[in-house]
Structure 1
Amino acid sequence: MQSWTRPNVPRLPGRGIAPRIFDAATQGLVEARPDESTPNLASVYVCGITPYDATHLGHAATYLAFDTLIRVWLDAGFDVRYVQNATDIDDPLLERASRDGVDWRDLAASQIELFRGDMQTLSIIPPDEYVAVTEVISDVADAVKILVQNGSAYPVPSPDAADDLYFDSSFTLPAWHLGLESTLDRPAMLQLNAERGGDPLRPGKRDPLDPLLWRSERVGEPAWNSSIGRGRPGWHVECSVIALEHLPTPLTVNGGGRDLVFPHHEFSAGHAAALTGHALAGIYAHAGMVAYEGEKMSKSLGNLVLVSRLVAGGTDPRSIRLALLSEPYRSDWEWTDAHLRIADERLASWTAWAATPDDDDDDDFLAELRERLADDLDTAGAIAVIDARIRAGAAATVTAVSAIDALLGIRLTP
């Protein structure tokens, strides 16, 4: 599937620093650098959208966080391979299409196109592989067949269809056991599983936490022919298969929003380990949740601030980037009109400062910016460094203006 046009990222003098970022599995900062088996290739898989109500600021904040990681990696001299999916077949998408009286395929296609446009407008680096789930149905089915054969999957009878297939969450390997990625206890898992697409009350499951791998065909629902019969994939295994097909394991980083920690990333890691015997990723990184009007910004609540609407209303996309970058990427925070007002004022100040840059070396500024971003992608700290420089009356330089473009994605000059 087509992604979007890649922004130009200036090359900076010298070499940046491999960043330390927060890893959910170890609950600490870990240096994000390539595995020994791929010594200069940093790899990242970021879970994509379910394409309806795209792209709200919660989405944008997540993809901007991993855009920042990629920019820091590039500056550190690493080759980067980035893969993202689009969950273009899933129950919430079908429910929204039914509610709105549209074909689910048309809804998915229109929202993916909107998402592409929003990402390009925000100067987000695109994935090297942008993969729709509907493109890999056969591959997912073949992977599920392997899981059945190795004993990590089992059938659950359905009164109105062929057996569905579920993952046995008690399946353990040195590379994975339940709770390894999320570090959650069982009560927390049970609560989140019920809230985030699980079916803990499904009769016939060995454990309420066991996730769906393959849903057999139901009347009136989309289904595909496959090596395990007609049906469609469960949610978590889709990402496992796409990541394993397009990236070396272990991935340097498996990423997404904090709401994916459990069950999605937990079981994506479990499925991948059951398929390969190896860990899916070295680091599991998550962006925080963006709230609006007192609640987490979400499709189900409808309290969305959409990138496309802000831009259509005249907002400079660079101001949106600056507003999102002003908050720590893994913190939960609430969007207000003040974020955009402050970002507009900051962008005007930076643009005026950068209007006539001189050619002097600016090694100290570049080093300070790199240090801030290497410290868990501290974009707010990097912004503070730039603000302080302008307040102090220091002149803009070509190096400084290029660094702001390369590392923060804010182009200040034509």
Structure 2
Amino acid sequence: MTNPPGLLISAPSSGTGKTTVMLGLLRALAEDGLTVQPFKSGPDYIDPAFHRAAAGRASFNLDSWAMGAPLLGAIAAQAQGADIVVAEGSMGLFDGVAKPGELGHGSSAETALRMGWPVVLVLDVGGQAQSAAATALGFRMYNPDLPFAGVILNRCASPRHERLTRLGMERAGLPVLGVLPRRGDLTLPERHLGLIQAVEHPDLESAIAGYAAFLREHVELEAIKRAASSGPMGPSSAALPRPPAQRIALARDAAFSFTYPHLLEGWRAAGAEILPFSPLADEAPAPDADLVWLPGGYPELHAGTLAAAERFLTGLRRHAETRPVHGECGGYMALGEGLIDKDGTRHRMAGLLGLVTSYEKRKFNLGYRRAELLADMPGFSAGTALRGHEFHYSSIVEQPDAPLARVFDAEGAEGPQTGSRRGHVTGTFFHLIAEASA
């Protein structure tokens, strides 16, 4: 049995327009009556929400560095019932870590190879013509085993520019699946972690409909459908992550939204109840929850509101007296004593950990993480190895509590972002993806 046929949309680098191509393609295919399954290659936790808005179907991350073969297969199996799969790559097609993890380097090319999805390369041809074919040919030949569907030429300036660029592609023997003229309005709003969240977009539905109309006019949809292919079906959803508790109060709003979809799917599939609540609306976690989980997000943009959310803070503190609370990245910062915003104003947080963090002096923290737990955290016992991803600009000012884990980057270098623990409360700067052996 095989998965539905699929494609992976990638590019030589970030900033080429592949996300808008991805969203327009998802919607255009759905408008044609197809059930479209989106995926995201790599650890990005913002794009899947945009994919869901475009396709009307939950998108999932596939990560060949952080995920073992059973988990990759279980996530790929979420495509059952779809007519076609469209996956979006991260960064450049072959970009990954220098030292392979359990399975590989985490590149989009590895995802395409594992899943049998031909690559559609989105090329920004601004400032070049026939030379763009040399770039595309290099990507085509870098790994001859990688299935390759063709190219979409983006930001083409004129009919003459298109003719010249097509000549180069014809000489290189590369199929051109579409040519997109330059348009300044085909961009998504961004902030310091990349795209704004889907829930924050001022008119996301209108934007996606516009991308779809644009793609339909300038891309050969039938040729793209014909190019789709796939590999063997993965195992059942039994390999998805197990829930850390039966009743999980999950913070979910514009301040706390970065939760990997495969985690939530696994929790639900195993029978856990997820009880969402909004700290920004001053909602307390469900009083009968077994666990409170605060995901990452943008607490620094809402620090004043969070500091004044008395019902939320009181409920959180009451829960922590007897039951576990866990925070990731932004959620971890909200569990601390204080958060200093970019203007230097310190805001009082929950005070369940001694952590104080600051955005006043930005410090870029990015990359895969392997953590060896020094103590129990919800769902995992001391000694367990976890894999995750860290992406934030905050600095630690104070961290007086016991460390939760030894944390290493993808090349094995140990770092200072150990997470912390106090009583029933734990927190990490990395976003959990999977147990290392999963």
TM-score bucket (shorter structure)? under 0.3
Compare the two structures and name the one with the higher helix fraction: 1
Compare the two structures and name the one with the higher strand fraction: 2
Q: Say which structure, 1 or 2, has more relative contact order (CA 8 Å, 6+ apart).
A: 1
Q: Using structure 2 for the length normalisation, give the TM-score.
A: 0.24
